[in-house]
Amino acid sequence: MSNSRALRGQILHFLDDPAMHGEAAWQSLDDGILWIENGYIRTVGDAAGLLAQLPADLPLQHFPHHLIIPGFIDTHIHYPQTEMIAAYGKQLLSWLQTYTFPTEMQFGDPEYASQIARIFLKELLRNGTTTALVFATVHPESVDAFFNEAQALGLRMIAGKVMMDRNAPPELCDTAASSLSQSRDLIRRWHGVDRLQYAVTPRFAPTSSEQQLLSAGALLKEFDDLYLHTHLSENRDEMAWVATLFPEAKNYLDVYDRAGLLSRRSVFAHGIHLSAGECQRLGESGAAVAHCPTSNLFLGSGLINLEQLRAHGVHIGLGTDVGGGTSFSMLKTMDEAYKIQQLRGATLEPFQALYHATLGGARALDLEGTVGNFLPGNEADCIVLDLHATPLLQFRSQYCPTLKERLFMLNTLGDDRVIECSYAMGCCVHHRDGETR
């Protein structure tokens, strides 16, 4: 498989946050070339200037009614929950008991875990997601299975073993000591191997003792550049429970803060019901919130205040949160994110939404300069979106003279059918019509 190639078509990527820099935040080329060399971005520019410079033997693909953008970055998702996506009728705490915990019990079986990891990764790539921050289960086997499959595809992925030592079925509980030693083994085996990185993953405050949270903090000190991945302030009943379990904490975030879990590489899923003080602390620590709109609506969790997070400089990524979320598609995720802001009387502008799904996600994961845009030297993870993927899209496109209108149409009407191909390090890892090149 060649990892040097040139892609020609309309190209769009972000250099900065549109909320701060307006139109200067993105580069858009109506007829552009993305030149990929040995898996990395060599350059991006107008076809008129670049075509003559391409080596004669470089494969060149032309996408005439498409948009070429960086691969989507999903900043919060659970691979073991693939098989229980769309489970009816519950809110968070009873949903966990009824559907999630029984499903996750199967992942001590390495064969089963590998099978689901393969289905999961295929689904990500079908939807144009090339990097994700992923929950496994409490079983170390579930992490090995996931990383093995991601490694075989050459993907940049971050994942970790769930740490959970109370308030869950005994079959799914570890202890503070076993979670420390099992996580440590996995970190040694996987962190920094190829494109894989490790996230210390306490499930959420209610399922970890204080001692286990302190163990998570100890791991972050022991190893460089680890991620911390957990849930925060998703549901009102969850928050009330946390207040009774940790009466000494000032607020929900403080439970994690006291254990040393806040840093530039900490990612908190949801963060819907945060106080100004919590937002400030998130901002000053450099941490990120993964906003998961399809999940927040499906589980009836609430409507996030994005302006408040932005005002405190909190990094914001988008997450699907499958299986609490109802789609692997980051386009559908942007669609629901917009509707959540509509319900609040606010908005999410289409360039802003795409920023959060690409460079914003990379920043949330501290991966700027590696993935998320097309600056030279970045890893060449990119996707090709087909604006004529369905009869309705093709019809509606005629009435979208501006890029902003086309983008909004894509993020409102688009789904997996729009993703014509996905590339990881310049290699085609998904083609809608079956073949990879």
Q: Which residues bind Zn ion (CB under 5 A)?
A: 269, 321
Q: Least distance in Å: CB of 234 to ligand GUN? A: 5
State which residue, 326 or 378, has the beta carbon closest to ligand GUN.
Answer: 326
Distances, alpha carbon 210 to alpha carbons 161, 247, 260, 412, in Å? 18, 12, 11, 43
* Residue recorded with tokens 């990881």: 424
State which residue, 10 or 103, has the beta carbon closest to ligand GUN.
Answer: 103
Q: Least distance in Å: CB of 405 to Zn ion? A: 33
Q: Least distance in Å: CB of 110 to ligand GUN? A: 21
Q: Least distance in Å: CB of 137 to ligand GUN? A: 10
State which residue, 231 or 430, has the beta carbon closest to ligand GUN.
Answer: 231
Q: CA torsion sign, 271 to 277 to 282 to 288? A: positive
Q: Least distance in Å: CB of 128 to ligand GUN? A: 22
- Judged by beta carbon distances under 5 to 8 A according to partner kind, the member of Zn ion, ligand GUN, none in contact with residue 123 is none
State which residue, 70 or 80, has the beta carbon closest to Zn ion.
Answer: 80
- Judged by beta carbon distances under 5 to 8 A according to partner kind, the member of Zn ion, ligand GUN, none in contact with residue 103 is none
- Judged by beta carbon distances under 5 to 8 A according to partner kind, the member of ligand GUN, Zn ion, none in contact with residue 234 is ligand GUN
Q: Least distance in Å: CB of 79 to ligand GUN? A: 11
3-state secondary structure the chain: CCCCEEEEEEEEEECCCHHHHHHHHEEEEEEEEEEEECCEEEEEEEHHHHHHHCCCCCCEEEEEEEEEEECEEEEEEEHHHHHHCCCCCCCHHHHHHHHHHHHHHHHHCHHHHHHHHHHHHHHHHHCCEEEEEEECCCCHHHHHHHHHHHHHHCCEEEEECEECCCCCCHHHCCCHHHHHHHHHHHHHHHCCCCCEEEEEEECCHHHCCHHHHHHHHHHHHHCCCCEEEEEECCCHHHHHHHHHHCCCCCCHHHHHHHCCCCCCCEEEEECCCCCHHHHHHHHHHCCEEEECHHHHHHCCCCCCCHHHHHHCCCEEEECCCCCCCCCCCHHHHHHHHHHHHHHCCCCCCHHHHHHHHCHHHHHHCCCCCCCCCCCCCCECCEEEEECCCCHHHHHHHCCCCCHHHHHHHHHHHCCHHHEEEEEECCEEEEECCCCCC
- Judged by beta carbon distances under 5 to 8 A according to partner kind, the member of Zn ion, ligand GUN, none in contact with residue 100 is ligand GUN
Q: Least distance in Å: CB of 234 to Zn ion? A: 8
Quick one: angle between helices 176-190 and 140-153, nearest 10? Answer: 20
State which residue, 80 or 154, has the beta carbon closest to ligand GUN.
Answer: 80
Q: Least distance in Å: CB of 136 to ligand GUN? A: 11
Closest residue to Zn ion in the complex (CB): 321
State which residue, 361 or 426, has the beta carbon closest to ligand GUN.
Answer: 361
Where along the sequence are the contacts to ligand GUN (CB under 6 A)? 78, 92, 96, 100, 203-204, 231, 234, 295, 321, 324
Q: Least distance in Å: CB of 78 to ligand GUN? A: 5
Question: Closest Cα partner for 383 from 76, 10, 26, 43?
Answer: 10
- Judged by beta carbon distances under 5 to 8 A according to partner kind, the member of ligand GUN, Zn ion, none in contact with residue 215 is none
Q: Least distance in Å: CB of 81 to ligand GUN? A: 7
Distances, alpha carbon 52 to alpha carbons 48, 197, 348, 376, in Å? 8, 39, 40, 19
State which residue, 134 or 187, has the beta carbon closest to ligand GUN.
Answer: 134
Distances, alpha carbon 119 to alpha carbons 113, 145, 325, in Å? 10, 12, 17
State which residue, 84 or 407, has the beta carbon closest to ligand GUN.
Answer: 84
- Judged by beta carbon distances under 5 to 8 A according to partner kind, the member of Zn ion, ligand GUN, none in contact with residue 92 is ligand GUN
State which residue, 2 or 94, has the beta carbon closest to ligand GUN.
Answer: 94
Closest residue to ligand GUN in the complex (CB): 324
**Total residues found in the chain within this entry:** 437
- Judged by beta carbon distances under 5 to 8 A according to partner kind, the member of ligand GUN, Zn ion, none in contact with residue 204 is ligand GUN
State which residue, 90 or 431, has the beta carbon closest to ligand GUN.
Answer: 90
